[in-house]
């Protein structure tokens, strides 16, 4: 009988030792997976999301009223050149600054989808879907006034 108790003690001590050895290591805190937004130069009265939401509201179908296909806000020339200075956007004049009287950016709905997001340039209801065909953004740098028109 003495052999059985020693064998049991041996097994119990092995289990205790292996439990300590098999304990999972302490978890390390994970880095955040959210991407930080790139710092945008200049200033604008609306965020990129708010500009896209204004376009999306213009695509809604209403029974008794036409939607606004124009967006107005404040914007400076630095922000305008950084925001709309992407391939596919025709800027007129190509180089400008705060002394330029007017700057026009003309682009298609596909390029608008790349700038604002595809869901912002497509909308409608269960019967029909509307797509933005063309967008024109106009900047008055001296007044820091921005106006954007879009067609369906």
What tens digit of pLDDT does each residue of 13-65 get?
555 555 555 677 887 777 766 665 566 678 888 998 999 999 988 888 777 77
Examine residue 36 and state whether it is found in any structural domain, yes or no. Answer: no
Examine residue 42 and state whether it is found in any structural domain, yes or no. Answer: no
Is the bond preceding residue 107 a cis peptide, omega within 30 degrees? no
Q: What is the pTM of this model?
A: 0.69
Examine residue 111 and state whether it is found in any structural domain, yes or no. Answer: yes
What tens digit of pLDDT does each residue of 94-138 get?
999 889 999 999 999 999 999 998 888 888 778 888 889 999 999
Examine residue 92 and state whether it is found in any structural domain, yes or no. Answer: yes
Task: Tell me the CATH number at 106.
Answer: 3.30.160
What pLDDT score does 22 carry? 66
Nearest-angstrom CA–CA distance, 38 and 36? 6
Examine residue 10 and state whether it is found in any structural domain, yes or no. Answer: no
Examine residue 14 and state whether it is found in any structural domain, yes or no. Answer: no
Contact (CB, 8 A) for 78 and 141: no
Mean pLDDT computed over 59-82: 86
Nearest-angstrom CA–CA distance, 66 and 43? 31
Examine residue 6 and state whether it is found in any structural domain, yes or no. Answer: no
How many folded domains does the chain comprise? 1
Q: What range defines the domain where residue 138 resides? A: 48-151
Per residue in 19-30, is it b (16+ CB within 10 Å) or e — as a string?
eeeeeeeeeeee
């Amino acid at each position: 009988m003495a052999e059985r108790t020693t064998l049991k003690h041996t097994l119990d001590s092995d289990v205790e030792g292996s439990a300590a050895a098999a304990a999972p290591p302490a978890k390390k805190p994970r880095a955040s997976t959210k991407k930080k937004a790139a710092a945008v130069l200049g200033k604008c009265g609306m965020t990129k999301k708010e500009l896209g939401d204004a376009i999306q509201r213009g695509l809604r179908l209403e029974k008794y009223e036409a939607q606004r296909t124009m967006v107005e806000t404040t914007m400076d020339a630095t922000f305008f050149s950084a925001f709309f200075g992407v391939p596919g956007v025709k800027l007129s004049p190509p180089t400008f600054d705060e002394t330029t009287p007017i700057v026009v950016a003309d682009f298609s709905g596909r390029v608008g989808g790349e700038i604002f997001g595809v869901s912002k340039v497509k909308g409608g209801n269960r019967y029909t879907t509307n797509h933005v065909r063309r967008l024109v953004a106009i900047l008055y740098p001296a007044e820091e006034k921005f106006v954007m028109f879009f067609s369906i």
